[in-house]
Structures are given as structure tokens and as C-alpha cells.
């Protein structure tokens, strides 16, 4: 990742943890140096979903999938009766 995404939520299943890398990013330096919002949009960035086994030994087991046009803040569903 070149710049950190706004990661507000992620999902966990019995076998995997799922993260999103979206076009909404965080840049706290802009807030400090320019008085600007630390949250911004990078329309040139292609959003993606990262899937990693829950018990992965390290980050090399993470697989990323490009999903153009996909921007999500909440990935979880409260009150879900069963885990996928």
C-alpha cells in the first residue's frame, strides 16, 4: 500500500479474514501541515479486497483481488446467525 486506506471494518469467517483497500484514504500529515481533512479520496486508486487465512503464518498468504468501483466502509453484518 502506498497510502493507508480508511479501514473502518473488516470481516472474519471460519477460515478467512477479509480486508478492503479502498479509494478513501488517510493522510494525517495534511491535517497537521495544511489544516485539511485527514480523510480524502484518490479516484486513481483501484479498490481491492484482501483475503488471508485466519491462521496464516505471515502476510505472504494474503491474496489481493482488484474490484474497480468498490468502496465500502462496513464489511460486517451484526446479528448474523451463522458464520460463512
Give the residue ranges of the annotated binding site for Fe cation. 8, 74
Q: Are strands 11-12 and 39-41 parallel, antiparallel or unpaired?
A: unpaired
**Cβ-based neighbour number of residue 47 at 10 Å:** 19
Binding residues: 8, 74
3-state secondary structure of 61: helix
Kindly state the DSSP code that residue 5 receives in the 8-state scheme.
Answer: B
Amino acid at each position: 500500500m502506498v497510502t493507508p486506506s480508511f479501514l473502518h471494518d473488516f470481516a472474519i469467517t471460519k477460515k478467512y479474514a477479509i480486508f478492503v483497500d479502498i479509494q478513501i484514504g488517510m493522510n494525517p500529515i495534511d491535517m497537521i501541515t495544511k489544516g485539511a481533512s485527514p480523510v480524502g479520496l484518490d479516484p486513481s486508486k483501484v479498490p481491492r479486497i484482501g483475503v488471508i487465512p485466519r491462521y496464516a503464518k505471515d502476510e505472504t498468504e494474503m491474496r489481493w483481488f482488484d474490484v474497480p468501483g468498490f468502496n465500502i466502509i462496513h464489511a460486517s453484518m451484526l446479528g448474523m446467525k451463522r458464520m460463512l
